[in-house]
Amino acid sequence: MATIPKNHPRYMSLLTREKISQAMKNGIVHETGLIAHGRGEAFDYLLGEKTISPVELAEKTAAAALLYAKNPVLSVNGNVVALSAAEYISLADCIPAKIEVNLFHRTRERIDKISDELRRCGAKKVYGMKADAQIPGLDHDRALCDKDGIFSADAVLVPLEDGDRCLALKNMGKTVIAIDLNPLSRTAKTASITIVDNVTRAIPNIEQWVHKLKDASIDEIKDIVETWDNEKTLGEILFFLSKRLNSLF
């Protein structure tokens, strides 16, 4: 990472790639996480690598939903830990919310490494190791969760693409907040609140809204959540993308 000159026009992008690559070598990110990151980065290029206005509203609504929840849980995987561990912990602390490790490519070793890294970055308690409950309707390891964590949560933040689990959690009656740079994914279309943004921007943005909304009345927070139209916002994002692509030629 030290070899990347700070005046390089793609400095942040290259730095992010190096973080993901190193985390894979350390056993935190699965090799398929590199593919997922590259796919997301392609969509970020289309967005102009910035948070657009419809997404700002989504991040505000996500903050409101997490504050309104009685038992909010932030799900975490290897990519998120590699890129935004400290920011994720900070968000969890200010809500407050639980953090739970949930993995598709699940091994005890990866769970331990991710949990250790979260604790090293300041997390006081990390859920996901007990796996004493299962999400109904899933036939893979992402069904495994903690009874006191995701299983009993009423709102779950799901970063990055996670379509089938997103639907299964919604079928359990939970509010599902997804961070996904691909507005066409199953996750984006299924989630209660979809944030089409880079996780490195989205997490700090949500936290800023949490701080702003902490003094709001419960009725105001409830109104923000209940008036949210996810399908409409995804349409606005797709319109932005098509308009931006046309302007480039």
Residues 88-122 have pLDDT tens digits of 999 999 999 999 999 988 999 999 999 999 999 99
Which whole number is the average pLDDT over 124-144?
92
129 and 118 in contact (C-beta within 8 Å)? no
Q: Which helix (H) or strand (E) element contains residue 83?
A: helix 78-94
Whether residue 245 contacts residue 48, with contact meaning beta carbons closer than 8 Å, is answered with no
Q: For residue 1, what pLDDT band results from cuts at 50, 70 and 90?
A: low
Q: What is the mean pLDDT of residues 201-213?
A: 98
Question: Alpha-carbon distance 152 to 200, whole Å?
Answer: 27
**Residue 9 domain-assigned?**
no
> Contact at 8 Å (CB) between 206 and 66?
yes
For residue 24, being part of any structural domain is answered with no
Tally the domains of the chain. Answer: 1
CB atoms closer than 10 angstroms to residue 9: 7
21 within a domain of the structure (yes/no): no
Give the pLDDT band of residue 39 (cuts 50, 70, 90): confident
Q: Which domain holds residue 76?
A: 53-247
pLDDT of residue 32: 78
Kindly report whether the peptide bond that precedes residue 136 is cis, defined as omega within 30 degrees of 0. Answer: no
Look at residue 170 in the predicted model and tell me its pLDDT: 95
* Residues 6 or more apart whose Cβ sits within 8 Å of residue 219: none
> What are 44-98's pLDDT values in tens digits?
999 999 999 999 999 999 999 999 999 999 999 999 999 999 999 999 999 999 9
Residue type, 94: C
Q: Which residue has the higher pLDDT, 106 or 30?
A: 106
| Surface-to-core class of residue 5, CB atoms within 10 Å of its CB (0-12 exposed, 13-18 middle, 19+ buried) | exposed
Q: Domain holding 183: CATH number?
A: 3.40.50.12640
DSSP 190: H
Domain-embedded: residue 42: no
Structure tokens at 123: 């997390």
Does the pLDDT of residue 7 top 80, yes or no? no
Percent of the chain at pLDDT exceeding 90? 73
Confidence band, pLDDT 50/70/90 cuts, at residue 187: very high
User: What is the rounded average pLDDT of the residues 140-145?
Assistant: 90
- Using pLDDT thresholds of 50, 70 and 90, give the confidence band for residue 6: confident
Mean per-residue pLDDT over the chain, rounded: 92
- Is 17 inside a domain boundary? no
pTM for this structure?
0.92
Quick one: pLDDT at residue 2?
Answer: 57
Dist. CA 162–CA 36, nearest whole Å: 11
Q: Select the more confidently predicted residue: 162 or 220.
A: 220
Position 68 in a domain: yes
Q: pLDDT value at position 13?
A: 76
Selection from 165, 158, 173 nearest residue 73 by Cα: 158
Model pLDDT, residue 35:
77
- Answer yes or no: is pLDDT of 37 > 90: no
Q: Is residue 89 part of a domain?
A: yes
Q: DSSP secondary structure string, 105-145?
A: S--HHHHHHHHHHHHHTT-S--B-SS--EE-TT--SGGGEE
Residue labelled with tokens 């005046």 = 7
- Residue 200 inside a domain? The answer is yes
Q: Which residue has the higher pLDDT, 13 or 201?
A: 201
Q: Which helix (DSSP H) or strand (DSSP E) does residue 166 occupy? A: helix 163-171
